[in-house]
């Protein structure tokens, strides 16, 4: 059953890239910066780290920048940058599902909207981003 579900999701993602024009969700377009304060407020650890480990982890937050154009997602973290082609698979009033394409496969991600912020599932947690001001 799991293989069937994974195959169906891959087919949905593949279909999103098959025929132009690509769908666009204008709420996603622009630059987003990781929101350290909000992410740490809601973050739950499966095991409480010692204070040093917690500080090290939380110092990683707030440094990731994501930028979405109509066709690509760009990321930057501590001097490293990358980009991925993406397509909107579906959307509703609260969220958008996008398919990212790499050399071999597709990855689906649901992104949720709240006023001038977005959040994504990160493991069992949420990572929040706020819209970057120009």
- pLDDT by residue (tens digit) across 95-105? 999 999 877 78
Picking from 39, 81, 76, 42, the residue whose alpha carbon sits closest to that of residue 58 is: 39
Q: Please say if the pLDDT value at position 1 is more than 50.
A: no
Picking from 7, 23, 41, 22, the residue whose alpha carbon sits closest to that of residue 117 is: 41
Q: Cα torsion for 133, 117, 49, 44, to the nearest 10°?
A: 170
SS3 39: helix
Q: Please say if the pLDDT value at position 134 is more than 70.
A: no
Q: Please say if the pLDDT value at position 10 is more than 70.
A: no
Task: Please tell me the predicted confidence (pLDDT) of residue 104.
Answer: 76
Task: Please tell me the predicted confidence (pLDDT) of residue 75.
Answer: 96
Q: Each residue of 107-119: b (16+ CB within 10 Å) or e?
A: eeebbebeeeebb
In this prediction, residues 33-40 reach a mean pLDDT of 94
Average pLDDT, the chain: 86
Task: Please tell me the predicted confidence (pLDDT) of residue 87.
Answer: 93
**Where do the domains of the chain lie, and which CATH numbers do they carry?**
2-19+29-131 (2.40.128)
């Amino acid at each position: 059953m799991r293989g069937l579900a994974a195959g169906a999701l891959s087919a949905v993602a593949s279909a999103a890239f098959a025929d132009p024009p690509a769908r666009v969700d204008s709420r996603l377009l622009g630059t987003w910066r990781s929101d350290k304060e909000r992410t740490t407020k809601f973050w739950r650890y499966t095991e409480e780290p010692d204070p040093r480990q917690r500080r090290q982890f939380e110092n990683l937050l707030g440094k990731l920048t994501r930028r979405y154009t109509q066709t690509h997602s760009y990321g930057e973290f501590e001097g490293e940058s990358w980009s991925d082609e993406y397509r909107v698979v579906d959307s509703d009033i609260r969220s958008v599902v996008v398919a990212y394409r790499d050399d071999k496969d597709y990855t689906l991600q649901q992104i949720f909207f709240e006023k001038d912020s977005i959040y994504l599932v990160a493991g069992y947690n949420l990572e929040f981003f706020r819209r970057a001001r120009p």
